[in-house]
Chains A and B, each alone.
Chain A
Amino acid sequence: MSAPGPAITVVLRAYPRGWRERYGAEMSALLAERQPGWRDLLDLARGAIDARLHRLVITPAVLVAAIPRREFAMPAAPRPTYGIVSAPPIGELSRRTFMRRMLGVGAGILALEFLGGTLAFLWPQIRSGLGGKFSVGTLADIVTSQASFANGWPYAVGAARSFLINVPAAKELALGHDVSIPSPAPDQLLALYRKCPHLGCQVPGLCDELKRFTCRCHGSTYNILGEKLKEGPAQRGMDRFAVTVERNGVVVIDTSQYSTGLLDRGDPQYLAFVDAAPYDRKCR
């Protein structure tokens, strides 16, 4: 099946001008002999792209005379004079050139703004505040500022909106034992996010009578490890931030990394830790 003439013409026009001047005539002669098909059309289109991407045409001196050239040089038109001004006023810059350049500059600025805005939007926005890392100090510092941390009482870290939990001591505390574990292992530290997973109220501190957390808004109750108990509408336990202990012993809460609390399955047998109080009790 042969390709239609107009399509061939269009594709040949896609070649750069220098190319057409040099090869145009012989290519059309070839195409006239060959009766090009669609495949040839495609091949020509690829050739046109290639010719636009690469500077391939050279014009040997021998050929210059032979090539039928169009005359491009236009006779210089007499310049109109506007009043006393005989040339574009500022240097050689005409109004048209100036407008075009300004259009280009404007488009460039717009593009830069767009690019800058995009980058700024994509840039990580959190460098401090929640979402960053918080150094809490060494375990010794924590115990110094709040001795009860060694006995399992949560250490509130205001900036990170978290309770730092000394897990082994906390378990003993919730079981009613009085022990002191001043330096738990790094993987025995837990950072509970104080935002209630129900509607986001701040969870108050541990209550004395049950050693549990009860949200004041709707009464969602969690054990000392933040697991959801029977009371309250929250669907899961308190969320947890990643806790690491650096080489120099400083405890760091990374609030950019968190895991959501375990789903409340309404059954104490799914809890990782069961404290001394009955399942359905909440702090007053």
Chain B
Amino acid sequence: MPNDGPSDLGRFAEPALLILVSLADGPKHGYAIMTDVDALGASPIGPGTLYAALARLERRGLIEPLGPEDRRRPYRLTAAGSRALAEHLGEMRRIVQVGHARLRTADG
């Protein structure tokens, strides 16, 4: 069990995962992450939660801040961050597959 992924962040696990997904296609600043998460159709993240999750991810070295643009600061995924995200998504995929398979056997 990797203990540096987003899954052990308690109530910040879900926002952290969404942030990692949002940053997967390039650096974004806070507001861009929030709108991106909204666009994903996931439950929206409030600003306090967003920054609490960002600070935790940063502390774990999964994301890193870039130099500020105006007053906004973009963040990008680190190598460790993309590894952790890939691992976590792989785990989720296994769960999804098992779930679908079981649903099919239950139907048939």
Which residues of A line the B interface, CB within 8 A?
19, 23, 25-31, 33-34, 36, 39-40, 42-48, 50-51, 56-58, 60, 62-63, 66
What CA separation (Å) do A43 and B53 show in the bound complex? 12
Q: How many residues of B contact A (CB 8 A)?
A: 24
What are 24 pairs between A and B in contact, CB < 8 Å? A25-B68, A25-B73, A26-B29, A26-B73, A27-B47, A29-B30, A29-B70, A29-B71, A30-B34, A30-B50, A30-B72, A31-B47, A33-B31, A40-B47, A42-B46, A43-B46, A47-B46, A47-B48, A47-B49, A50-B48, A51-B55, A57-B55, A60-B65, A66-B68
What CA separation (Å) do A43 and B11 show in the bound complex? 13
Secondary structure of the B contact surface, majority rule: helix
What CA separation (Å) do A208 and B65 show in the bound complex? 100
Which residues of B line the A interface, CB within 8 A?
29-31, 34, 46-52, 54-56, 58-59, 64-65, 67-68, 70-73
Also in contact, A60 and B47, with CB within 8 A (given A33-B31, A47-B52): no
What CA separation (Å) do A273 and B68 show in the bound complex? 95
Secondary structure of the A contact surface, majority rule: helix
Chain B neighbourhood of A60, CB < 8 A? 64-65
| Nearest CB on B from A218, distance (A) | 70
Q: A19, A44, A50, A63: which contacts B47 (Cβ < 8 A)?
A: A44
Are B34 and A26 touching (Cβ within 8 A)? Answer: no
Are A34 and B64 touching (Cβ within 8 A)? Answer: no
Are A43 and B71 touching (Cβ within 8 A)? Answer: no
